[in-house]
Amino acid sequence: MRPVLVIAAKDLRQRLRDRSALVIGLVAPLAVALLMSLAFKGTENFHYTLALVNADRGPVAGVIVQTFGSKSLRSIVTVHDYADQAAAAQAVRSGRAQAGLVIPAGYSAQFAGFGPLSLTTLTNVNNTTASSVTESIASSLVAQLDADRLSVATAQSAGSTKSSAELAALASQLRIPEQLVARGVGARQLKVISYMAPAMSIFFAFFLISYTARGFFEDKDQGMIERMRAAPVRPYQILVGKSLSVLVFGLGSLLVISLVTTKFFGAYWGDPLSVFLICAALVLAIVALTALVIGVARTKRQAEGMSSALVFGLALLGGNFVFLSASPQVLQRIALFTPNGWALRAFTKLSTTGGALHTAVVPVLAILGFALVIGALAAVLARRSVTS
């Protein structure tokens, strides 16, 4: 066991003395996670400004204006009044408002007739979400108004003795019985930093594959491996020692980033035990991938090329750069063939549902299964690389 610890300690000392390793292991993940969370911060607390033109000033238009200014919508939309459509359109184009709504003159008068009720929405390609929300609210209002008009027309056709104004007042108290209402699912909202912090820390942890494989071939070229074997040190002890250094550095990096982002950036990874088990399983998968690269490559250049392909391939397929929940179903399924895909799925569930250890069991087992398969293949190949 002593040779294994000596080799691991030597590699760790080299890694800690190398500033680039510390940058990749700690500084870069924190910086990129913070930048990406700032870039996507608007998706957490959505709010936009609506340019509203009320050219009608009638009672029905008043209902629409009151709806957009209601307490229930105040958290997502701020209404600014404009005199005409041209002024509102200019506000949308310049970015002072993200969407616009025009209520034409005579809109309320159409309520008692049979002509179509029409509202004009002003949209901007740079603010599609605000445009969609405005169109959705407007469509819902028009649907309710159409239902009210239909009820008035039906009552009049049935011979009601009440006036149109009285029927309209009664109809305004009716509501469409079935409506689609969005309800939050889970104990917490998924914050961008709660996804990007694990995603970026995992992405940069993958660079341990390149760093360790390159270091192995540098030691081999300098005759270090031959001197170790002459000590004598068995090939498996060399591999285990280097793997242990990856395990310690990688696990330490992930846990430190989780603590820092939780304490200072407001991220939530999950309960500590689940986070530890997921990180440990993930680092074991990284160890297996590192051994595979060492076993397959024959030179330092080959190891660097293979490592880069693995790092970016796994990051793209596993969802480190995009939200997995927002990806197409086919990409979500492909992500389950990667250890980082399982880890990010677990962190997302832990962050949103507040789940404990039972939430992490399946992802941890899946990651360990990946590590076992890759490790079994790498054990044979890497041993051959040490002895050749």
Q: Give domain limits for the chain.
A: 2-41+189-387, 45-171
Burial class of residue 213 (count of CB atoms within 10 Å of its CB; 0-12, 13-18, 19+):
buried
- Helices (H) and strands (E) counted in the chain, each on its own, are 16, 4
Strand pairing category for 99-103 and 120-122: antiparallel
Q: Which amino acid is at 117?
A: L
pTM higher than the cut 0.75? no
- Predicted local distance difference test score (pLDDT) of residue 79: 92
Give the per-residue pLDDT at 185: 47
- Alpha carbon distances (Å) from 153 to 59, 148, 163, 169, 170: 18, 9, 11, 13, 12
β partners of residue 122: 100
45-171: in CATH 2.70.40: no
How far apart CA 258 and CA 54 sit, in angstroms, is: 51
Task: Supply the DSSP string of 52-81, one letter for each residue.
Answer: EEES--SHHHHHHHHHHTSTTTTTTEEEEE
User: What does each of the 388 residues of the chain score in pLDDT, given as a tens digit?
Assistant: 677 777 778 777 777 777 777 787 778 888 887 776 676 655 556 788 999 999 888 877 888 888 888 887 887 889 999 999 999 999 998 889 999 999 888 887 776 555 656 788 888 777 777 888 888 888 877 777 777 777 767 776 777 777 666 665 665 555 545 454 555 544 567 788 888 889 999 999 999 888 888 887 877 777 776 676 666 667 667 777 777 888 888 898 899 999 988 888 888 898 899 999 999 999 999 999 988 898 888 888 888 899 999 999 999 999 888 887 777 888 889 999 999 999 999 998 888 887 778 889 999 999 999 999 998 888 777 666 555 5
* H or E element in which residue 103 lies: strand 99-103
Contact 380, 290 (CB under 8 A): no
Q: According to the model, what pLDDT value does residue 3 have? A: 73
* CB count in 10 Å sphere of residue 87: 13
Rounded CA-CA distance 88/110 in Å is: 23
For 43-89, what is each residue's pLDDT tens digit?
556 788 999 999 888 877 888 888 888 887 887 889 999 999 999 99
Position 382 scores a pLDDT of: 63
Tokens of 271: 């309960």
Per-residue model confidence (pLDDT) at position 178: 46
> CB 152: neighbour CB atoms within 10 A?
23
Predicted local distance difference test score (pLDDT) of residue 64: 84
How far is the C-alpha of 27 from the C-alpha of 29, rounded, in Å? 6
